[in-house]
């Protein structure tokens, strides 16, 4: 009796409250199927990742909307020009080293034509990497020395076995879902299946069925949603069920529309009806309907028409489902659906800006995690091998000055945007270099082209604008001395 009160008091401290203070934590009949378990993200992926990836790939193969989603990601993140190299090597006086820049850029372009292990180009590997992220939610790209240069190989995520797990012991480090980790969770190696199989291989047989790729040769990119996450999952996971149901709705609507278009009817014989004379090859009653024909039915027979109706709510319901898919994928509705019927200038501009920021984020991650490491490895190998002569390896830090230009997008209203940029330039808010780089170009290339145009125009005695305000003209050969200067006097600018 003496211990009952302290015991009850102690039990009251550790007793779980039955009342939920937040609506999202309540448990009732409407929320009975809402998961409340505290499970780590890796435990969820270990259980569901293989199925998620398989269904995501199936949806991309079967759903037109998901096929467009992948094309939108591919064309906006990489585009037709890919991720281009622009070298910014400077001398000690901060003057561009034009010769070194040209040598590195020229050899990089040459290497990029067949940099894959199967002869794929640089842009092909980038496109395949974006496809892997869009569908599987993670990129595995191997970059290693092959035949005296760097070679690229995009790895199928299925080869990094989700079911391959091993605790750290005296025989080796921890392996979690095919990725070898150190004590801090940093990848030290990747275990790949020799061949993609559909069964789980015990650890005792691992050395004959798996190959280990050191982390220095592999880039693994995904967007973690929780701390401690080891693998990525398909970005379309939140809306996969919606996409599947939308495909079913489309199929059911198509079947219904075909039934409506068929205009079928049945022959009905009341009790005591006469004998049917027209029969098909199987002896069943049949009536042939031809244009402008008025067939006469036997006595007692009649035609029972069947006029099925198609769904009346398909369009608004399908649009709502497509809008949900667009929200879940992080892309605006017009971009992912191709439906521009309800857009105006303001809405499409706002949607494009949001989409472009999303694409820029992925571009930044790919450059930092994939492109930079590949370039640095390529630069070291080619400087050592002498492929970049006369550039010496001792100045590697100087030569390691790349800048990457990515896909950029045209303006919705080019005239207004150009006027705004001209105002920013006059106010000194932005420089020409910044504007050119924002459009995906390089200021050195643009200025060289302008110089070449001016020189060619002078050779052909053609007057063109100098690009400053569209009114000045380039002097023809021999006219420099007679061309008026800024003060109205005759003479060249160099003489004045």
pLDDT > 80? residue 474: no
User: Edge to edge, what strands does the sheet with 210-214 contain?
Assistant: 174-176, 179-181, 187-193, 210-214
Q: Domain map of the chain by residue range?
A: 41-237
- Alpha-carbon distance of 440 to 360, in angstroms, equals 12
pLDDT > 80? residue 163: yes
Does residue 256 or residue 330 have the better pLDDT? 330
Residue 147's nearest CA partner among 125, 116, 174 is 116
Q: List CB contacts of 388: < 8 A, sequence separation 6 or more.
A: 103, 104, 107, 379, 382, 399
Does residue 472 or residue 342 have the better pLDDT? 342
> What pLDDT, on a 0 to 100 scale, did the predictor assign at position 489?
44
Look up residue 268 and give its DSSP letter. E
> What pLDDT, on a 0 to 100 scale, did the predictor assign at position 274?
62
Strand partners, 403: 86
Highest mean pLDDT among 5-14, 39-48, 287-296: 39-48
DSSP three-state, residue 473: strand
Q: What is the mean pLDDT of the chain?
A: 82
**pLDDT tier for residue 495 given thresholds of 50, 70 and 90:** very low
Does residue 283 or residue 231 have the better pLDDT? 231
- Alpha-carbon distance of 496 to 490, in angstroms, equals 9
Can you read off the two tokens belonging to residue 142?
A: 């191997």
pLDDT tens readout for residues 152-162: 999 999 999 99
> What pLDDT, on a 0 to 100 scale, did the predictor assign at position 195?
64
pLDDT tens readout for residues 384-403: 999 999 999 999 999 999 99
Nearest 10 degrees: CA dihedral of 189, 194, 200, 203? -50
Lowest mean pLDDT across 28-37, 241-250, 463-472 = 463-472
Beta strands in 147-286 (DSSP E): 149-155, 174-176, 179-181, 187-193, 210-214, 218-221, 265-268
Cα→Cα distances 435→361, 432, 440, 449, 466, Å: 19, 5, 9, 16, 18
Give the mean pLDDT of 439-465.
79
pLDDT tens readout for residues 164-207: 999 988 888 999 999 999 999 999 999 998 865 545 555 455 55
Q: What is the pTM of this model?
A: 0.75
> What pLDDT, on a 0 to 100 scale, did the predictor assign at position 494?
39
> What pLDDT, on a 0 to 100 scale, did the predictor assign at position 390?
94
**pLDDT tier for residue 81 given thresholds of 50, 70 and 90:** confident
């Amino acid at each position: 009796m003496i211990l009952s009160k302290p015991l009850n008091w102690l039990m009251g401290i550790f007793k779980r409250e039955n009342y939920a203070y937040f609506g999202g934590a309540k448990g009732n009949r409407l929320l009975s199927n809402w998961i409340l378990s505290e499970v780590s993200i890796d435990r969820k992926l270990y259980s569901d990742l293989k199925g998620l990836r398989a269904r995501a790939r199936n949806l991309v193969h079967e759903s037109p909307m998901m096929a467009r989603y992948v094309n939108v990601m591919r064309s906006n993140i990489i585009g037709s020009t890919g991720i281009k190299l622009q070298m910014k090597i400077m001398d000690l006086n901060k003057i561009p080293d034009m010769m070194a820049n040209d040598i590195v850029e020229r050899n990089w372009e040459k290497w990029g034509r067949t940099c894959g292990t199967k002869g794929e180009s640089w842009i092909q590997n980038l496109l395949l990497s974006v496809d892997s992220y869009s569908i599987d939610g993670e990129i595995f790209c191997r970059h290693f020395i092959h035949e005296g240069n760097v070679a690229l190989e995009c790895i199928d995520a299925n080869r990094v076995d989700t079911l391959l797990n091993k605790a750290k012991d005296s025989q080796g480090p921890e392996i979690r879902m095919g990725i070898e980790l150190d004590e801090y969770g940093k990848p030290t190696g990747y275990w790949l299946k020799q061949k993609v199989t559909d069964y789980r291989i015990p650890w005792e047989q691992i050395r004959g069925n798996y190959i280990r790729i050191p982390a220095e040769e592999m880039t693994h990119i995904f967007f973690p949603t929780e701390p401690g996450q080891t693998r990525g999952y398909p970005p379309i996971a939140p809306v996969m069920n919606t996409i599947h149901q939308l495909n079913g709705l489309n199929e059911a609507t198509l079947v219904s529309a075909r039934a409506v278009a068929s205009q079928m009817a049945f022959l009905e014989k009341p009790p005591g009806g006469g004998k049917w004379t027209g029969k098909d090859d199987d002896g069943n009653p049949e009536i042939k309907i031809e244009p402008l024909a008025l067939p006469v039915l036997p006595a007692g027979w009649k035609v029972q028409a069947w006029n099925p109706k198609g769904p009346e709510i398909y369009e608004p319901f399908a649009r709502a489902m497509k809008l949900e898919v667009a929200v879940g994928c992080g892309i605006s509705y017009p971009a992912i659906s191709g439906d521009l019927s309800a857009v105006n200038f303001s809405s499409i501009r706002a949607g494009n800006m949001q989409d472009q920021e999303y694409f820029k984020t992925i571009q930044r991650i790919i450059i930092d995690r994939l492109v930079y490491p590949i370039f640095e490895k390529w630069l070291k190998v080619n400087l050592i091998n002498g492929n970049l002569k006369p550039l010496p390896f001792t100045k590697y830090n100087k030569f390691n000055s790349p800048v990457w230009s990515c896909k950029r997008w045209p303006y919705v209203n080019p005239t207004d945007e150009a006027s705004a940029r001209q105002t920013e330039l006059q106010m000194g808010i932005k420089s020409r270099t910044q504007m050119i780089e924002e459009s995906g170009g390089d200021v050195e290339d643009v200025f060289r082209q302008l110089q070449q145009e001016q020189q060619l125009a002078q050779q052909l005695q053609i007057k063109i604008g100098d690009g400053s305000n569209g009114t000045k003209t380039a002097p023809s050969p021999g006219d420099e001395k007679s061309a008026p200067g800024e003060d109205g006097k005759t003479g060249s600018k160099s003489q004045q």
